[in-house]
Structure 1
Amino acid sequence: MNLELQWLVWSIALGLVHLMAYACVILKTEGVMWTAGPRDEGQPQYGLAGRLARAQRNYMETWPFFAVAVLLAHVMARESAQTALGCQLYFWSRVIYLPLYAFGVRWVRSLAWVVSMLGLVMILGALF
């Protein structure tokens, strides 16, 4: 498996970390009855649980673009140092993004997001 596909696999694991972080916090804050119930009253949008939900949603807004770009680079045989660096920038900045969002760190969180988008654009650039 080449480097770009390895980063794609790690990005799937990171998505699961997002999911489990939110699930653990919501279980602790809302309890078993709420998590096992129909959740008619909606998901909490406040505190740590809300920030983790928004971080997860943000990750899922960008991840499909990353996954498709990596797969296209592989299928089109366009992997290069540029795509490898783009994958690393995307992945590591998204790793940093999660705790920054969870702890409510402004500006640096936004910078991490911008770096992840730069990584994505680097991969995309190799496709043209």
Structure 2
Amino acid sequence: MSPELRWLAWSLLLGLLHLVLAAAAARGQSGLPWALGPRDTPQPPLTGMAGRLQRAQANFMETFPFFLGAVLLVQLSGRGGSASALGAAIYVWARLAYLPLYAAGIPYLRTLAWGVSVAGLLMVLGSALPWAG
């Protein structure tokens, strides 16, 4: 398995971690009866850490498809190398850092982690493009 695919596997686990943490925090606010019921009424807006975890999960889901596509392009084009492997690692580690930073409500470092993750994603994508070398 290539390094990029290994990092993709780690990012899938990170996505599941986002899902579990956001769901658990939401259940703490809306309650288990609402979650187990028919959900005919909308869930009340989440506040505090539960809301931040929900938004962090949504943000992960916004960038993950691009990361997945970039890794698949690298694999299918056979253009993987040290830059794409490093970019994939940077993406996953930055996204991992983003989760507790967002959950704790730390704004500037959270934004920095997001920017670093996008830079890693662009490194992977850049490796797959024909003009990248």
Taking the TM superposition and a 5 Å limit, the aligned residue runs for 1:1-128 are: 1-37=1-37, 38=39, 40-128=41-129
Point out 4+ residue stretches in structure 1 off by more than 6 angstroms: none
Q: Which runs of 5+ in 1 are unaligned?
A: none
Cα distance in 2 between the residues matched to 1:26 and 1:107: 25
**Superposition deviation, residue 33 in structure 1:** 0.8
Per-residue CA deviations over 1:56-98 (Å, capped at 9, x if unaligned) read: 0000000000001001101110111000010011000000000
Partner Cα separation in structure 1 for residue 36 and residue 104 of structure 2: 27
Task: Provide the aligned C-alpha RMSD in A.
Answer: 1.1
CA deviation after TM superposition for structure 1 residue 30, in Å? 1.9
Check 1:68–1:43 CA distance in 2 against 1; reply closer, same or farther (3 A cut): farther
Distance 2:120 2:71 in 1: 11
Q: Secondary structure, in 3 states, of the residue corresponding to 2:107?
A: coil
Aligned residues: 128
TM-score (normalizing by structure 1): 0.95
Identity %: 48
Post-superposition offset of 1:45: 3.3
1: CA distance between counterparts of 2:101 and 2:107?
A: 8
Q: Tell me, which stretches of 5 or more residues in structure 2 are unaligned? A: none
Conserved 8 A contact 2:80-2:128: no
